Structure 1
Amino acid sequence: MKAIKVSIAQLSPKLGDKQHNLQLISDAMIKAEKDQADLIVFPELFLTGYSVGESLGQLAETEDGPGMTEVRKLCLEHGIYAAISFPEQGEGKHYYISSALIDNNGDVLGVYRKSHLFDEEKKYFTPGAEFKVIETPLGKIGMMICFDVEFPEIARSLKLQGADMIVIVNANMHPYELQHHIFSRARAMENEIPIIICNRLGIEGDLDFCGDSMVIDATGEILLQMKQAEGLKTVDMPIDQQLDPKMSYTANRRADLYSKLVERF
């Protein structure tokens, strides 16, 4: 059974302080390299902290910006793939909550822009318009960000596009910890696909981030659960495990009956 080693960095970034957060990223990659991890995943908007709406003009950057360039150098230095989230400067005055997948040579393989914006994110960010599956030697990686996990259509679409696993970068806060715990396991089970969900800790203003990062296999079994522990943990995650042939949810779909799902109400 093929498996990859996955590291989850459940940490507390400092709002607006890229240098501090880059040091956290560097320290986490050092530990992940010692654990012989293939892939390390960081939380949503980890490069800058979450509540950056009023400061996007100063903090947002492209995938080739100074902060992201430093992350890319770290991936090359430590020989590791990374999913890192940042506020992306887009075309014109558009900003996106984005997650970049960087390979062990420091190359950006793809950038996913969060498609389902939560609450006040809509005041500052533009929603993305494309679901992303990125082909890598580790497998085909589908990308999601936080609130996306609450919409089953996204994970199903990634599965139908051939994803072997789904990586979710999170900045989920109390009182919504139960939703993401249940939804991430459900997305794994209903699509028979492993899920990596990395949330953060810490407080920003009124927001108290709730952790509970997990690695979940294609049957919904939790392989790694960090609960409220701060730090980095690594686990082997199978990506071609034996599944119950009686389930085969994708094969048993009745797409001819689902037209209501794409109607506007």
Structure 2
Amino acid sequence: MKGTVTAAAVQIEPFPPADKERNVADVCARVADLAAEGVELAAFPELGLTNFFCEPGDLSAGRRDAWQVAESLDGPAVTAVAAATRKHGIHAVIGLAERGDVPGAIFNTAVLVGPGGIVGATRKVHAAGFEKLYYSGGTQPQVFDTSLGRIGMVICYDLWHPESVRCLGRLGAEIVVCINSAWKGGAKGGIGAPNKQRMFELVPVMRAFENGLFVVMCNGAGSHTLGDRYGTWERMGLSRIVDPHGTVLAESFTDAEDVVTARLQAAALEDSRAAWPLWADRRPEFFQALLL
């Protein structure tokens, strides 16, 4: 990993799916501004380029609309953001609804782009609630080599499953970027007990500490209307950046648009693993039950 990496979680409220071009323009403009401020790695929210579906009536109509909004990775949305990161010499993780090779198959995807264009992509593995009605399954964990370090990606609910980040750590990840559209729960939309906010604050801390790596967690802001059946849901915001010791380096305290920035020091990787030799002491041979 590079000695110091300046990272940002860009907590924005995506425009509705019909305004996808506005999302792309907004992200490109922010990429330019962040690069000018010295940011080297920027994370944007889950499905930030296309937003979630907005169901116009029944499920089949919603699926048709979602397919129309979705794009392939070589489509205009990712191409535009990749051009911006290339121009300004910055890496970014962006989210979109990705069209599959089979008509009707859509993936909830995170894409890492940088000065050399598209670096890699990860599809969300754990679909929560109604998402299963719209988005297909994910991909095997992958870690991508960049000039900043070895970067892995997870999407929202994936972070709540320890195996997701543990696999990335085992593959050598130094920085894990988690892009979210985490909802407040209850009457505000989505699942979650009354302590959901507390858990949302703790989970990235534990994933960073137990794996000895950095977690850059970016959530969405504001709200999104999902259609008559689901109504309008509100996001929690509360993005945060955590170091390998489990120390919160920067965090948002709002559900509104915000940008949190932190300097990731490579020395913290070795320091944390020396203080807490969790990788050296692990005994995977005793946990075959996880394969069931």
Q: If the length of structure 2 is used for normalisation, what is the TM-score?
A: 0.86
The runs of 4+ residues in structure 1 deviating greater than 4 Å are: none
1:1-16 alignment, distance < 5 Å: 2-16=3-17
2:289 aligned with 1:260: yes
Q: Distance in 2 between matches of 1:177 and 1:48?
A: 25
Query: Which of 140, 155, 169 lines up with 1:130 in the alignment?
Result: 140
Find the counterpart in structure 1 of residue 108 from structure 2. 97
Which residue of 186, 190, 200 maps to 1:180? 200
| Greater CA drift, 178-187 or 244-253 | 244-253
CA shift for structure 1 position 52: 5.0
Is the 1:5–1:37 Cα contact (8 Å) retained in structure 2? yes
Give the match's secondary structure for 1:245. helix
The residue aligned with 2:251 is 225
Which range moves more in the overlay, 207-216 or 232-241? 232-241
Give me the whole-angstrom Cα distance separating, in 1, the residues matched to 2:124 and 2:54: 15
How far apart in 2 are the matches of 1:243 and 1:231? 29
Check if 1:249 corresponds to 2:278: yes
171-180 vs 83-92, greater mean Cα deviation: 171-180
Q: Partner amino acid for 1:19?
A: E
> Residue type of the partner of 1:255?
P
Give the Cα separation in 1 of the matches to 2:32 and 2:114: 16
Choose which of 65, 79, 85 in structure 1 pairs with 2:95. Answer: 85
2:101 and 2:234 map into 1 onto residues whose CA distance is: 32
Give 1:41's aligned residue: 43
Taking only the aligned residue pairs, the percentage that are identical comes to: 28
Q: 1:235 to 1:246 in 2, by over 3 A?
A: closer
- Alpha-carbon distance, 1:203 to partner: 1.1
Instruction: Identify unmatched segments of 5+ residues in structure 1.
Output: none
Distance across 1 between alignment mates of 2:78 and 2:119? 13
TM superposition score normalised by structure 1: 0.94
Structure 2 unaligned residues grouped into runs of 5+: 56-61, 186-195, 226-231
The answer to whether the Cα contact below 8 Å between 1:133 and 1:161 also exists between their aligned partners in 2 is yes
Number of equivalences: 262
Q: Could you say what secondary structure the match of 2:279 adopts?
A: coil
Query: Is the helix fraction higher in 1 or 2?
Result: 2
Q: Give the Cα separation in 1 of the matches to 2:178 and 2:78.
A: 19
Aligned to 1:203: 223
